[in-house]
Structure 1
Amino acid sequence: MSIHVAVIGCGGMGRSHLNGYKADPRAHIVGVADQSEEAARKAATDYNVPFYTTDINALLDRPGLQAVSVVTPNHTHIDVTPKVAARGIHALCEKPLALSVEDARRMIDAASRGKAILAVGHVLRFAPPIAEVHRMARSGELGRVVNFYVLRMGTASAFLALSWGRERRTLGGLVRTLNCHEIDVLRWIAGEITHVRAEMAHLMVEGIDYEDVAWMAFTFEGGALGLIGQNLVHYLGNHYYEIMGTEATVRFRTSGPITVAGKDRKATERPTSDRVAVHEQIRCFLDSVEAGRVVAPLADGVEGLKGLAIIDAAYRSAETGMKERVVW
């Protein structure tokens, strides 16, 4: 079955989606769009795509178009994705789904009215180490998850390079644009988060108007506790996870081997595959288009909304200094 697809947004992540479609023989890329005509033209040339435009409606008018990746600046998701859904075209929207829970709900409603799939690009579900830890949790190998710890640290260079990456109104803030990944991973592995306590500050990075350091403590439905540390002030960079269960502890990154220790406290390394997470996500999106529903482990719009509700609670906590309940 050939699935006619298109990509809106031809920057670095848009090209990752194009690579994913090129890697799947079911996908026939019929067009690309970008606000920059040069970027759209170059993507069309590089990927041998027959049509490019700066007009989203012109792209959506392409005959037989079935599915679209929305890979545009964060603040534009609410404008672009409902236009896709209104045509009955299935959408894979990059994370964060929106900049507010209210906008996410509008996007979900638009997809429902258009009888279209709405999926969210929580791509770390497809990272081989994370997929393996999810399997371990579901199989009982970890036992009951009781604690987790995540560090994600680096610099602001990627955001400063984006025309829309310097302001909260367009990016959404550091936690909303990056930690939506970690929060989705932890919900997927450990269950729902009920409360958040957060501290955030803008301490060092010039040229941005949002937090560059954040710490968030989470309480889960089952009683587990966890912590995420995130910043843009770490010149060496670091990104890793530790999850502790009653039967085993695991330490891992988004690629490479997993370190596992059981009750004997002997650490062993387990290799993981070298599959490309974005390609696996695109494959699952195409599976979903064929099935007419979002196929696991792809995240749907409701999953994206729940993550945003947790992030909203974190921002509220940073303002009030209080532990905040998650509401969606």
Structure 2
Amino acid sequence: MLRSQVVLQMKEVRVGVIGAGAFGETHSMVYSELPGVTLVAVADLNADRAREVAARFGAESWYDDWAPILERDDIDAVSVVTPEDKHKEPVVEAAKAGKHVLVEKPIATSLEDADAMIRAAEQNGKVLMVGHILRFTPGYVQIKQAIDSGSLGEPMWAYSRRNGSLAQVKRISGRVSAIMFLGIHDIDLLLWYLGGEVERVFCESVRKEVSRSFGVPDFSWILLKFGNGALGSIETGWGLPEKWADWKIPGDWGAFAADIEVEVIGTRGAAYFDFPPMMVTGCDSEGFKFPDLIHRPRMHGRTEGAIKIELQHFIDCIRDGKQPLVSGKDGRRAVEVALAAEKSSKIREPVKLPLSHGF
């Protein structure tokens, strides 16, 4: 069957993107390439940026405020890709306006905001999906499938590392900690892998140059104790050199600016995921470089990889009326653990879950 015939059989889903930063641009690009999906509008407080992204990916409209997107009856869904602490209002208002919502991780920086979003989506019968991209990344999914198959036995221990560069913390001006910006990926991953509920969180942090400049820890180590007896450990921070993955050419060699490793040990087996380097490495006048082949590689002029799978899943949930793989409640669980880790880092004592609001 021809691709054009497949599109004709699909219900068109018309989307808007709220937030036109680096990842909002990626959402816009992917939506513009998905079959049966129309990118209608892009909004950003920076009008020039909204205009630029809308024009580049063929959106018919752009706005310097997100409210006009929600007022349009011809938009079915939105991606909310604003800064982490600015998710609540557009998500809640989008649900009230009858829009399905994909909100980037973390769902919020407080439990109160997360609860308000979850409640709005439930009350209005709309899909609320949180953009935890690792659940759509083949290597991580393969480990999850091995766990679910029983081939590893009962999971006992999992370790996940995600260390970013100084360039990242400078780009976001330390608006959140590495725990909430990077480690939130790994928290969700270990919740997915190990199952059950986290009972206790302990976190120790290093505070050097990043802390002096931005008020957030340079590196943090997090230990999770699960109610089912399993243990999880997460390493995250900002301290890699600024030149880490800093190349400019080739343009399609998108940089993946993090040092990552995952290990899961069960009663009958173990699984490992380790990168970079990826399977492709180059070296030229800019030095060594290794393109992202996993999350959002560009191939033949189109975006592939986990981000495409993730956004396609969101569209499929809308079309088919099914629940997303990462619900608002899943996002809330990850935020609760992240908040507990931040608190533990400050008081240098273990923190028990569940947290009370505003702890």
- What's the TM-score once normalised by structure 1's chain length? 0.88
Is the contact made by 2:127 and 2:324 (CA closer than 8 Å) also made in structure 1?
no
Q: What is the aligned partner in structure 1 of residue 44 from structure 2?
A: 34
Q: What is the aligned partner in structure 1 of residue 176 from structure 2?
A: 172
Distance 1:90 1:254, change over 3 A: farther
Q: What is the aligned partner in structure 2 of residue 286 from structure 1?
A: 315
Residue by residue over 1:271-292, the C-alpha shift from the partner in whole angstroms, topping out at 9 and shown as x without a partner, is x998511100001000111133
Residue by residue over 1:207-244, the C-alpha shift from the partner in whole angstroms, topping out at 9 and shown as x without a partner, is 31111111111112221112111121233652111111
Does residue 316 (structure 1) correspond to residue 343 (structure 2)? The answer is yes
Matches within 5 A, 1:255-294: 276-294=305-323
Is the contact made by 1:98 and 1:104 (CA closer than 8 Å) also made in structure 2?
yes
Residue by residue over 1:102-125, the C-alpha shift from the partner in whole angstroms, topping out at 9 and shown as x without a partner, is 110011112222222111010111
Does residue 211 (structure 1) correspond to residue 240 (structure 2)? The answer is no
Residue by residue over 1:68-102, the C-alpha shift from the partner in whole angstroms, topping out at 9 and shown as x without a partner, is 00001111111221111110101000011111111
Residue identity in the other structure for 2:354: V
Q: What is the aligned partner in structure 1 of residue 353 from structure 2?
A: 326
1:254 deviates by 6.8
Q: What is the aligned partner in structure 2 of residue 266 from structure 1?
A: none
Q: What is the aligned partner in structure 1 of residue 332 from structure 2?
A: 305
Structure 2 gap ranges (5+): 1-10, 245-257, 280-293, 298-303
Is the contact made by 2:190 and 2:232 (CA closer than 8 Å) also made in structure 1?
no
Does residue 245 (structure 1) correspond to residue 266 (structure 2)? The answer is yes
Is the contact made by 1:150 and 1:229 (CA closer than 8 Å) also made in structure 2?
yes
Task: Choose which of 197, 202, 213 in structure 2 pairs with 1:197.
Answer: 202
Task: Choose which of 13, 19, 44 in structure 2 pairs with 1:3.
Answer: 13
**SS at structure 1 position matched to 2:209:** coil
Task: Choose which of 228, 232, 250 in structure 1 pairs with 2:238.
Answer: 232
1:30 deviates by 1.0
Is the contact made by 1:5 and 1:67 (CA closer than 8 Å) also made in structure 2?
yes
Aligned-pair identity in percent equals 29
1:201 deviates by 3.6
Residue identity in the other structure for 2:133: V
Rounded to whole Å, the distance in 1 between the matches of 2:313 and 2:79 is 13
Structure 1 gap ranges (5+): 258-271
1:55 deviates by 2.1
Q: What is the root-mean-square deviation in Å for CA atoms of aligned residues? A: 2.1
Is the contact made by 1:6 and 1:68 (CA closer than 8 Å) also made in structure 2?
yes
Residue identity in the other structure for 2:329: V
Is the contact made by 2:183 and 2:235 (CA closer than 8 Å) also made in structure 1?
no
1:186 deviates by 1.0
- What's the TM-score once normalised by structure 2's chain length? 0.80
